Amino acid sequence: MSPTAINLRAARSVFRSPTSPRSSRRCSLTTIWRSSFALLAAALLAACQPAGPKFKSTDLTGADYGKSLALTGHDGQPRTLADFRGKLVVLTFGFTHCPDICPTILADLAGVMQSLGKDADRVQVLFVTVDPERDTPELLAKYVAAFDPRFLGMYGNAEATARTAKEFKVFYEKRKSGDSYSVDHSAQSYVLDAQGRLRLFVRHDRIAADLADDLRALLGETG
């Protein structure tokens, strides 16, 4: 059984939302693809840069967004991008009650980290919740650790969450679902280099196939 399948099954056994009926598809794929299309259009413009490393993901070098982040880690420590200087940062957005796309992304990222071996120590995965109302620090800690204990859950109040999502061009929207609610959100991930600069846009369905090689290429820039 693949590491992705193992991580995905383990995470779902650790956390299953009693308020998230399976009959409701909470992360609309239509929403994901619509927002991803807009992001890819912007990404293609940013990709017209001088020759450098050949990436499988979309090269965002020189993009004019994704420059700041100020949230709190699930460990209670306030964090900005400056706190991760010297490491690559893989940034993704989601929420712990997400039924499918979020656990799949995190399981794929866990597989990527495993494939990097010792180089994984030079990479930090950040999972930013778009549901701070329900995603407490304790819940985030339990959720991300089910995939990889090195992952860091990030949260803020409603204002900080909206500001961060806007900075990284991430769409999210709360939707009523029976007596509870779900959150539709875009599903891209980003990679920032060791200097904190936005470098890559990664489609959710290409993480397992492309990301490890792209991270190795970026790690090669810093030796």
Nearest-angstrom CA–CA distance, 165 and 129: 10
Identify whether 84 is part of a domain. Answer: yes
DSSP secondary structure string for all residues of 67-112: ---EEEETTS-EEEGGGGTTSEEEEEEE-TT--SHHHHHHHHHHHH
Residues 56 and 74: their CA atoms lie apart, in Å, by: 31
Query: What is the pLDDT averaged over residues 58-82?
Result: 98
On whether residue 175 sits in a domain, the answer given is yes
Residue 60 counted as domain residue:
yes
| Mean pLDDT value of segment 19-44 | 53
Is 26 part of any domain?
no
Residue 161: what pLDDT?
Answer: 98
pLDDT at 222: 78
Question: What is the amino acid identity at position 14?
Answer: V
Range of the domain at 163: 3-12+51-222
Mean pLDDT throughout 2-31?
A: 52
pLDDT at 21 over 50: no
CATH code of 72's domain = 3.40.30.10
The conformation of residue 204, written as its DSSP 8-state character, comes to G
In a domain? residue 177: yes
Q: How confident is the model at residue 177 (pLDDT cuts 50, 70, 90)?
A: confident
**Is residue 185 a part of any domain in this protein?**
yes
Q: Does any domain span residue 195?
A: yes
Contact 130, 155 (CB under 8 A): no
Provide the percentage of residues in the chain whose pLDDT is more than 90.
73
pLDDT of residue 213: 98
pLDDT at 166: 98
Tokens of 130: 């778009």
Q: Which amino acid is at 65?
A: Y
List, in sequence order, every residue forming a beta bridge with 181; answer none if it has no partner: 176
Q: In whole angstroms, how large is the CA radius of gyration of the chain?
A: 16
pLDDT in tens, 72-125: 999 999 999 999 999 999 999 999 999 999 999 999 999 999 999 999 999 999
Domain count, the chain: 1
Residue among 109, 100, 104 at smallest CA distance from 17: 100
Contact in structure between 83 and 190 (CB atoms under 8 Å): no
Is residue 44 one of the residues assigned to a domain? no
